[in-house]
Amino acid sequence: DAAVAGGAEVRRYPAAKDQSDLELAVRAARAGGATRVIVVGGAGGRLDHFLANALLLASAAFDDLEIEALLADARITVVRRDARLGGEPGDVCSLLAAGGPARGVRTAGLRYPLDGEDLLPGSTRGLSNELTDPVATVSLEHGVLLAVQPDLGGT
């Protein structure tokens, strides 16, 4: 009610549908001209919802959008070309390939740097890295990464 009173648009859909609420919302944002989307919430309180929503954001269907999400207690940045990740030195950051191999991954400002390496879906190679600077950079030549920063959802 407060959001509507403040001028927000609310769209209502039936509970039984072929797309999740998050997918409908991201599609609506893009249709409205958005090029950058920040998702707040969307974990759904269930592991399957969390995983589905994180993978949805990395989908090729949204490769024209810059996407960041605050899901549960994590900040997730979708990296398609390059991204800057903010935080405090010592903060954990995991880089996870989504939808296929992430080729030519390069990082700066992380304890365990990558220099043109490939990360594969299902590999733990990019798990539990740490920021060494207040801003780290990640880039890749091909593919998609989910940069997951746990315990930063509220910051």
- pLDDT tens by residue, 84-108: 999 999 999 999 999 999 999 999 9
**Cα-trace Rg, the chain:** 16
Residue 33 confidence class, pLDDT cut points 50, 70, 90: very high
Does the pTM of the predicted model rise above 0.85?
yes
pLDDT, average across residues 113-119? 97
Say if CB 106 and CB 75 are below 8 A apart.
Answer: no
Least confident of 9-13, 32-36, 149-153: 149-153
Residue 146: predicted pLDDT: 97
Residue 73: predicted pLDDT: 85
Average pLDDT value over all residues in the chain: 92
23 backbone φψ class: left, alpha, beta (φ>0; ψ -120 to 50) = alpha
Collapse the DSSP code of 23 into the 3-class scheme (helix H, G, I; strand E, B; otherwise coil) and give the result.
helix
With a pLDDT cut of 70, the percent of the chain lying above it is 96
